[in-house]
Amino acid sequence: MSTLKPSLGPRDHLRGELSRPIHLVEFGDFECPFCGQAQIVVHALERALGDQLCVGFRNFPIVGAHPHAQLAAEAAEAAGAQGRYWQMHELLFENQHALEIPHLDLYAEQVGLDMRRFAADLDDHRHLEKIRSDLHSGAISGVAGTPTFFINGIRHEGPFDFDSLLAAMTLAARFPRAG
């Protein structure tokens, strides 16, 4: 049984409060089609569980298979530095087929970013260390591919469909969080 290292915390991108009883962490890749499918499931889980759920996302770009994944992660982190992480996150997953610079600039404009700062962040790879930290977290937590989910600090070993994740999260809510 693999546990999340480090545990979910304020360094992560969160939807919901850390005090909520259920934590769902996804290691994902913005260019991974399975991660794109998983977003639909995560949104449905958020609707179903409401204020019981805290969702976190950590970058795990698999650059050998997805050549635009790291740049997309950098764009998401650059948006996060301007308080627009989740808006960019959504646009990247909605547009997985278009993750090159001209498209990323368009998304940055759509979410209202300071474009000079955004361009400088990408040019300087200002957020690459955060992505590397997420990758390291995944590696020491036993992540081998994407998407990989952790529920209350324990890696979910089953499928990532709605019913499977909901059942695992309902069970996990009965026990203290690991990590």
Q: CATH number of the domain at 112, please.
A: 3.40.30.10
Tell me whether residue 4 is in a domain.
no
| Residues 87-141: tens digit of each pLDDT | 999 999 999 999 999 999 999 999 999 999 999 999 999 999 999 999 999 999 9
Pairing of strands 148-151, 53-59: unpaired
Question: Would you state the pLDDT for residue 134?
Answer: 98
What is this structure's pTM? 0.94
Tell me whether residue 3 is in a domain.
no
Q: Which residue range(s) make up the domain with 59?
A: 13-172
Structural domain count, the chain: 1
Please name the helix (run of DSSP H) or strand (run of DSSP E) that holds residue 165, with its range, or none: helix 162-172
How far is Cα 104 from Cα 93, in angstroms, rounded to an integer? 12
Split at pLDDT 50, 70, 90, the class of 173 is confident
Query: In this model, does residue 82 exceed pLDDT 60?
Result: yes
Write out the E strands in the chain. Answer: 13-15, 22-28, 53-59, 148-151, 154-155
Q: Per-residue pLDDT averaged across 16-31, rounded?
A: 96
